[in-house]
C-alpha cells in the first residue's frame, strides 16, 4: 500500500494487522503529513516500510511486481495547502497515480484506488440528493481536481488496458493520527491549549463525518469483493455543520458553545458534502461500526489528550502558517 504512514493509511495498516493475516509493504515518502510513530510496535514480519516516492516509476515497478494487490492511499491531502502551493498535488496525486497504474498494467496486479467525495463538487444545504456513484465530477480546489484527475486515469486504464482496479470515494474522516492542520484535530488541540476554535466563514459548511476505522473496513471489503471497474462511495450518514462540531468539542471541555472565532474563509470553500453509500451497503453488505459521531468524537478527543507528545511538535508551525493567511 502507498501512503501507509499518513492518517488514514496508518489506520488501514492497523486494521489489516488486527483483522487479517496479510503482509503489508508500505511505500511512503514521509512528507510533513506522515508519521513513523503511527506504525511503531507493529510486527516486523507483517509490516515493512519503504521510504520513497509514488512518482518514482522504477521503485514503484519493483514493489508492485512483488505484491498481490496494491491499495493506493498516497496523496497530498489538504485543500488549504493546495491553494497556496498546488504543484505537489499535481505531481503526487496525478503523476504518482499514473506510475501506480503503469506498474499495475505491466504486472496485472489488482489495484484499489482511494479517492474522495470532493471530486463531485458541493451540494446546496437543502438539496435532498446526496452524492452517488452517478454524480458528475465537478471539483473545486486544486486538491480535488487532482484527485478527480487520478480517478479519471484509473477509469481509463481499466477500460483501455484492462487494469484490474476499483475506486472508492469516501467522505471526511476523523480519528487518531490525523495531522493538526485538519479541522477536528486543529480545534481539539486549540481548546487543549486554552485557545479558541477557528471557524472559516460563517461555519455553516457541512461535512459528512466517518471514523477512519470504518473507511478501512470498507476498503478491505471492496478489495476482496468489489466488482472490477466499479466505483463505491463510502459514508456513514454523519452530516454535521462546522459550528455543530466545534460546539460539541467546546461542550466536551466545559467551555461555552460560542467560545470560537470566525476567521477568513477558504477560497472556493465547498458548502456541503453528503454521501449516499447504498451501493456499498446493498451490494457488499458493509455497515459502519462507529455510526455514532458524537461518541467517536469523544474518543478522538481522548486520544489527542493522551498523545500530546505526538501532535505538539507540529502545532506551532501549523498555527503560524494559518496566522499568515489570516486564519488564526
Q: How far is CA 95 from the centre of its chain?
A: 19
Q: How far is the CB of 127 from ligand NAD (least distance, A)?
A: 20
Q: What is the DSSP track for 94-155?
A: IIIHHHHHHHHHHHT-EEEEEEEGGGG----TT-S--B-TTSPP---SHHHHHHHHHHHHHH
**Least Å from the CB of residue 148 to ligand DAU:** 11
Q: Angle at CA 145, nearest 5°, toward 83 and 281?
A: 120
318 touching ligand NAD, by CB under 6 A: no
For ligand NAD, the binding residues in 18-37 under the rule CB under 6 A are 27-31, 33-34
182 binds ligand DAU (CB under 6 A): yes
Can you name the residues that pair with 206 across neighbouring β-strands? 241, 272
172 binds ligand NAD (CB under 6 A): yes
CA nearest 274: which of 242, 241, 237, 244?
237
* CB of 139 closer than 8 Å to CB of 118: yes
User: At CA 58, angle to CA 52 and CA 60, rounded to 5?
Assistant: 55
The stretch among 64-72, 90-98, 194-202, 276-284 that binds ligand DAU (CB under 6 A) is 194-202
Segment lying near ligand NAD (by CB under 6 A), choices 16-24, 69-77, 128-136, 262-270: 69-77
Q: Which of residues 262-301 bind ligand DAU (CB under 6 A)?
A: 266, 273
CA distance 197 to 195: 7
3-class DSSP state of 312: helix
Q: How many Å apart are CA 189 and CA 192, to the nearest integer?
A: 5
Q: Is 180 in the site for ligand NAD (CB under 6 A)?
A: no
C-beta of 3 vs 238, nearer to ligand NAD:
3
User: Residue 96 touches which of ligand NAD, ligand DAU, none (CB < 5 to 8 A by kind)?
Assistant: ligand NAD
Residues 75-134 interacting with ligand DAU (rule: CB under 6 A)? 77-79, 116-118
| Cα end-to-end span (Å), the chain | 35
From the candidates 53, 118, 151, 213, which is the catalytic residue? 118
Cα–Cα distance for residue pair 64/114, rounded to 1 Å: 16
Crossing angle (nearest 10°) for helices 293-306 and 183-192: 50
Instruction: Measure the CA–CA gap between 64 and 100, rounded to whole angstroms.
Output: 8
User: Which strand (E) or helix (H) includes residue 174?
Assistant: strand 173-174
Say whether residue 207 binds ligand DAU (CB under 6 A): yes
Q: How far is the CB of 309 from ligand DAU (least distance, A)?
A: 22
Site string for ligand NAD, 2-21 (x = CB under 6 A): xx-xxxxx------------
**Which of 242, 143, 130, 230 has the alpha carbon at shortest distance from 186?**
242
* Annotated catalytic residue 118: yes
122 makes contact with ligand NAD (CB under 6 A) = no
Among 186, 211, 215, 272, binds ligand DAU (CB under 6 A): 186
Please say which residue, 53 or 117, places its beta carbon nearer to ligand DAU.
117
Q: If binding is defined by CB under 6 A, does position 101 make contact with ligand NAD?
A: no
CB closer to ligand DAU out of 102 and 286: 286
User: Between residues 76 and 270, which has the closer beta carbon with respect to ligand NAD?
Assistant: 76
C-alpha cell at 177: 493520527
Residues lying near ligand DAU in the complex (CB under 6 A) are found at 77-79, 116-118, 171-172, 182-183, 186, 198-200, 205, 207, 242, 266, 273
Residues lying near ligand NAD in the complex (CB under 6 A) are found at 2-3, 5-9, 27-31, 33-34, 53-55, 73-77, 92, 96, 114, 116, 147, 170, 172-173, 179
Where in the sequence numbering do the catalytic residues fall? 117-118, 143
Amino acid at each position: 500500500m502507498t501512503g501507509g504512514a499518513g492518517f488514514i493509511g496508518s489506520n488501514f495498516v492497523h486494521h489489516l494487522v488486527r483483522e487479517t493475516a496479510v503482509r503489508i509493504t508500505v511505500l511512503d515518502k514521509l512528507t510533513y503529513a506522515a508519521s513513523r510513530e503511527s506504525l511503531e510496535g507493529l510486527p516486523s514480519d507483517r509490516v515493512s516500510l519503504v521510504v520513497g516516492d509514488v512518482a518514482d516509476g522504477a521503485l514503484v515497478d519493483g514493489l508492485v511486481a512483488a505484491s498481490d494487490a496494491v491499495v493506493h492511499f498516497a496523496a497530498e491531502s489538504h485543500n488549504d495547502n493546495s491553494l497556496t502551493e498546488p504543484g505537489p498535488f499535481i505531481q503526487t496525486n496525478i503523476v504518482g497515480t499514473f506510475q501506480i497504474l503503469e506498474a499495475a498494467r505491466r504486472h496485472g496486479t489488482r489495484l484499489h484506488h482511494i479517492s474522495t467525495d470532493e471530486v463531485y463538487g458541493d451540494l446546496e444545504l437543502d438539496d435532498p440528493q446526496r452524492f452517488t456513484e452517478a454524480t458528475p465530477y465537478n471539483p473545486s480546489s486544486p486538491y480535488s481536481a487532482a484527485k478527480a484527475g487520478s480517478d479519471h486515469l484509473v477509469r481509463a486504464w481499466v477500460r483501455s488496458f484492462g487494469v484490474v482496479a476499483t475506486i472508492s470515494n469516501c467522505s471526511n474522516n476523523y480519528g487518531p493520527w490525523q495531522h493538526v492542520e485538519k479541522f477536528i484535530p486543529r480545534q481539539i488541540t486549540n481548546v487543549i491549549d486554552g485557545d479558541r476554535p477557528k471557524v472559516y466563514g460563517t461555519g455553516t459548511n457541512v461535512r459528512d463525518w466517518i471514523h477512519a476505522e470504518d473507511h478501512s473496513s470498507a476498503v478491505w471489503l471492496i478489495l476482496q469483493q468489489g466488482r472490477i471497474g466499479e466505483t463505491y462511495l463510502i459514508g456513514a450518514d454523519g452530516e454535521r455543520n462546522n459550528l455543530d462540531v466545534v460546539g460539541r468539542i467546546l461542550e466536551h471541555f466545559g467551555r461555552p458553545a460560542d467560545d470560537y472565532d470566525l476567521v477568513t474563509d477558504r477560497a472556493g470553500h465547498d458548502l456541503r458534502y453528503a454521501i449516499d453509500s447504498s451501493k456499498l451497503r446493498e451490494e457488499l453488505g458493509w455497515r459502519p461500526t462507529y455510526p455514532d459521531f458524537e461518541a467517536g468524537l469523544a474518543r478522538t478527543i481522548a486520544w489527542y489528550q493522551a498523545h500530546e507528545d505526538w501532535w505538539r511538535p507540529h502545532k506551532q508551525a501549523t498555527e503560524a502558517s494559518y496566522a499568515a493567511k489570516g486564519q488564526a
